[in-house]
Amino acid sequence: MQKARLHVCFSGMVQGVGFRFTVRRIAGQYEVTGFVKNLLNGDVEVAAEGDREVVESFIDAICNSSLCDYMRNIEREWEPATEEYNGFEIRF
């Protein structure tokens, strides 16, 4: 499998609704590493690394969860994996 990193920016009413904690819980169901973080502009950023198909499934699981009610827009950008993450964490 091909390892890759995906940066995703979720916009909408995505802060103050448990978004980061739900993303971290979902990440525990997939072999991904990375982080979820609130941005100053009100968006939430997710960086996830792993096998490309697994990362896609992880992001799809986020989009198909109860969080979808809060999302207005999703921007995705693929990058080469750096394998710098040791797990999946919430960053503050």
Could you list the active site residues? 20, 38
Q: Can you tell me the distance from the alpha carbon of 16 to that of 23, in angstroms, rounded to the nearest whole number?
A: 13
Distance CA 80, CA 69 (A): 30
